[in-house]
Chains A and B, each alone.
Chain A
Amino acid sequence: MSVIKKDAHAQKTQADLLYEAQQRKRLQFQIKVVISWMGLLAFLLFLFSGLEIKSSNGVTSVSSWHFQMVIENNREVRARVEEVLFSMPYGLPNKGLDITTIVVDSEFIGENIDFIAAGILQTIQISIYAILLATGLALLAALGRLSTNPLIYSLSTFYVSLIRGTPLYLQIFFFFLALPQLGIILKGLWAGVLALGLNYGAYMSEIFRAGLSSVGKGQREAAMALGMTPTQTMRRIVLPQALRFAIPPTGNEFIAMTKDSALVSATGFVHELMWRATKVGRAEFRNLEALIMAAIFYWIMTLILTSVQSRVEARLAKGDR
């Protein structure tokens, strides 16, 4: 028996065994990461669950707090109500232990979730318009930086320097509040798109510049030796390669932009996620609940976009480079 076993074992080479051990280690690590994530998530849920665990004066109880409409002095108010889920007549003496968690107004969430969720569409809309504008500007700015024409070169570097040298928040207000003073009135959405697009365009020009310089000098020379004009060389040879290089980082910028679009809410006229969250939160003094809802929506959007992004990246990496 033992001889057969040995033979079966001998069929695997040293490299196979090492590889398997490595794979096993990697899998174990991944499993532990998933468990830890779920643990952290569970802790977060518990933190906002409204549960209270008490053990004092010889009584131990678990109770759940929530908001409810109650009549108080002949007026209907929303107040915190305790509901004991479980208790037993044993426990720590005297003051003992009291663990309380944050109570969120689930009724408020239920009433307003649809209103806030409606902002997702607007958030995505702003982000898409702004990323399109930013990509165009970034490409122009990157090409401008390669230009031998001093005016075009200056225009590009001036734009990038000015935009990167001022806060995005200021730029959004500038388009929304300062421009009307000059007689230019933009709708809130377009002021936001313009500000975000200009801002991200300046930062993204670096991405496109890196993309353009990733295309070797030999590529240009080969194209020129074949008789292509500089424009043809750029359009047919350099740009396609540079853009492929720039797609993954542009995806990252898009994800960042969906979150920065929240700043546009400050103008008060774009009804995206953040604006809706602060509006209902302030009105009923339920900012905690409103912001939690918005945070969850942003987080889910980011998770989805990130997974799309990594898929695109993987496909490009496998592609025909």
Chain B
Amino acid sequence: MSAPIVRIDNLHKYFGRLHVLKGIDLEVQPREVICIIGRSGSGKSTLLRCINFLEEPSEGEIEIHGVKIPAGGKGKEHQKLVHEARLLTGMVFQEFNLFPHMTVLENVMEAPVIVKGVDRTKARETAEMNLARVGMLFKKDEYPNRISGGQKQRVAIARALAMEPKVMLFDEPTSALDPELIGEVLEVMKGLAKEGTTMLVVTHEMGFARDVADRVVIIDEGMLVEQGEPKEIFENPQHKQTRALLDRYRTSGHGSQ
């Protein structure tokens, strides 16, 4: 086994007095697709947001592509490490968060030009390439308010990809979408997985987890209770929290796809 590309070591997170993450350990191999599953409020989104320091972890350490970032750091040095972590990761949000004052193409070009200082012509080429990858090149001159939710999320994926991250983080990418729009986004994500993109996906889409994930991780009350291949987890869950969680998905019809 090669060296992990992401290593999360004894991660704790407190929100005021609330202990949200209670010592999470997780290693992600290159090209691996991991689905993180748990009830709402279990801490799965917080875990994802700690990896690129949108939430500052309280204790523990995160290592991405050899860059070690201890929690609770302060000052310029820490800022630099956090910046590196953000360059190494791309994030896709539940609410898309496209920039409404820019066209689709500008949304995708913005960060490479501003953050990496890529030349505009080159950034445009990369942006168009990535938009083509998610099937959104035909809307490149539209403003975000003129496209559907599924299209917005695909653009958001292209925007993250344009920074050429080592790891893609998906925070419930289909939860804000109308049911008929979920499929197109999952298709794009499947495509990325096939291309060998390392992905960490917080999701309620059990079908996607079963078909695409290499590993499923179950988070409950801030702890990693179980992990394994999707087949093992779905067919033979070891922990009663996992069983309860999967039962809930089955009865609510989320599992079928």
Question: Which chain A residues have a beta carbon within 8 Å of chain B's beta carbons?
Answer: 216, 218-219, 221-229, 232, 236-237, 240-241, 244, 320-321
Contact B163 A227 (CB under 8 A): yes
Decide if A227 touches B87 in the complex (CB within 8 Å): yes
Are A320 and B54 in contact, with the CB atoms below 8 A?
Answer: no
* Cα A270 to Cα B111 with chains together (Å): 50
23 examples of A-B residue contacts, CB within 8 angstroms:
A219-B99, A221-B97, A222-B93, A222-B98, A223-B111, A224-B86, A225-B52, A225-B86, A225-B89, A225-B90, A225-B160, A226-B86, A226-B159, A226-B160, A227-B83, A227-B116, A227-B163, A228-B114, A236-B110, A241-B100, A244-B101, A321-B100, A321-B101
Is there an interface contact between A232 and B114, defined as CB atoms closer than 8 Å?
Answer: yes
Which of B101, B111, B145 has the most C-beta atoms of chain A within 10 angstroms of its own C-beta? Answer: B101
In the complex, the answer to whether B115 meets A227 with C-beta atoms within 8 Å is yes
Q: Mark B110-122, 1 if CB is under 8 A from A, else 0.
A: 1100111000000
Interface assignment of B199: CB less than 8 Å from any CB of chain A: no
- Say which residue of A218, A227, A228, A244 sits within 8 Å of B97 (CB atoms): A218
Residue of B nearest to A221 (CB): B54
In contact, A218 and B114 (Cβ under 8 angstroms): no
Minimum CB–CB distance from B29 to chain A (whole Å) comes to: 23
Q: Is B143 an interface residue (CB 8 A)?
A: yes
Interface residue ranges of B77-100 to A (CB < 8 Å) = 83, 86-87, 89-91, 93, 95, 97-100
Kindly state the separation between the CA atoms of A222 and B89 in the bound complex, as whole angstroms: 12
**Cα of A19 to Cα of B84 in the assembled complex, Å:** 59
**Structural contact, B93 and A221, CB atoms closer than 8 A:** yes
Is A320's CB under 8 angstroms from B100's CB?
A: yes
Residue of B nearest to A237 (CB): B99
Identity of the chain A residue whose Cβ is nearest the Cβ of B162 in the assembled complex: A226
A221, A223, A227, A244 — which one has the most chain B CB atoms within 10 A of its CB? A227
Residues of B within 8 A of A227 (CB): 83, 86-87, 111, 115-116, 163
Q: 9 shortest A-B CB distances, which residue pairs?
A: A222-B97, A226-B111, A218-B97, A225-B91, A320-B143, A227-B115, A227-B86, A227-B87, A240-B101
Q: Which residues of the other chain, A, contact B145 by a CB distance below 8 angstroms? A: 320-321
A304 CB to nearest B CB, Å? 29
Residues on A with beta carbons closer than 8 Å to the beta carbon of B116: 227
Do A222 and B86 have beta carbons less than 8 Å apart? no
Within 8 A of A (CB), among B129-163: 143, 145, 156, 159-160, 163
Residues of B with C-beta under 8 A to A229? 83
Chain B positions 45-80 with a Cβ under 8 Å from a chain A Cβ: 52, 54
Instruction: Tell me the complex Cα distance, A52–B83, Å.
Output: 83
Minimum distance in angstroms from A318 CB to a CB of chain B: 12
Min distance, Cβ B165 to any Cβ of chain A, angstroms: 9
Known: A221-B93, A225-B89. A320 touches B115 (CB 8 A): no
